[in-house]
Amino acid sequence: MKSVNSQGMKSAGQVLAGQRALITGANSGIGEGIAKSMAAAGATVVINYVRGPEDAARIVDEIKSRGGQALALEADVSREDQVQAMYRQMTDACGGIDILVNNAGMQKDAAFTDMSLADWELVIRVNLTGQFLCAREAARAFTRQGVIPEISSSAGKIICISSVHEAIPWAGHINYAASKGGVMMMMKTMAQELAARKIRVNSIAPGAIKTPINHDAWATPEKEAELLKLIPYGRVGEPDDIGRTAVWLASDQADYVTGATLYVDGGMMLYPGFRTGG
Ligand code: NAD
SS3 category, 241? helix
Q: Does 31 sit in the ligand 1 pocket, CB within 6 Å? A: yes
* Nearest-atom index, ligand 1, CA of 209: 40
Q: Which residue(s) pair with 160 in the sheet?
A: 102, 203
**CA 257 / ligand 1 centre spacing (Å):** 24
Specify the pLDDT at position 2.
38
* Nearest-atom index, ligand 1, CA of 127: 32
**CA 78 / ligand 1 centre spacing (Å):** 13
Q: Does 261 sit in the ligand 1 pocket, CB within 6 Å? A: no
CA angle centred on 256, ends 250 and 261, rounded to 5°: 65
Specify the pLDDT at position 36.
98
- Supply the DSSP symbol for 110: B
* Nearest-atom index, ligand 1, CA of 162: 44
Name the residue at shortest CA distance from atom 8 of ligand 1: 25
Q: Does 208 sit in the ligand 1 pocket, CB within 6 Å? A: yes
Q: Which fold has domain 15-210+238-271?
A: Rossmann fold (3.40.50)
CA distance 157 to 159: 7
- Supply the DSSP symbol for 14: -
- Would the pLDDT of 168 be above 70? yes
Specify the pLDDT at position 1.
37
pLDDT digit string, tens, across residues 196-254: 999 999 999 999 999 999 999 999 999 999 999 999 999 999 999 999 999 999 999 99
Confidence of residue 8 (pLDDT cuts 50, 70, 90): very low
Q: Domain extents for the chain?
A: 15-210+238-271
pLDDT digit string, tens, across residues 47-69: 999 999 999 999 999 999 999 99
Specify the pLDDT at position 11.
55
Pairing of the two strands 199-206 and 156-161: parallel
Pairing of the two strands 69-74 and 99-102: unpaired
Catalytic positions: 176
pTM of the shown model:
0.96
CA distance 162 to 202: 10
**CA 107 / ligand 1 centre spacing (Å):** 8
Average of per-residue pLDDT across 180-188? 99
Three-class DSSP labels, 125-182? HHHHHHHHHHHHHHHHHHHHHCCCCCCCCCCEEEEEECCHHHCCCCCCEHHHHHHHHH
* Contact present, 191 and 134 (Cβ < 8 Å): no
CA distance 141 to 135: 10
* Contact present, 131 and 102 (Cβ < 8 Å): yes
- Label residues 217-228 b or e (16+ Cβ within 10 Å = b): ebeeeeebeebb
pLDDT digit string, tens, across residues 95-118: 999 999 999 999 999 999 999 999
Confidence of residue 9 (pLDDT cuts 50, 70, 90): very low
pLDDT digit string, tens, across residues 114-163: 999 999 999 999 999 999 999 999 999 999 999 999 999 999 999 999 99
Sign of the alpha-carbon dihedral angle for 232, 183, 84, 97: positive
Specify the pLDDT at position 277.
78
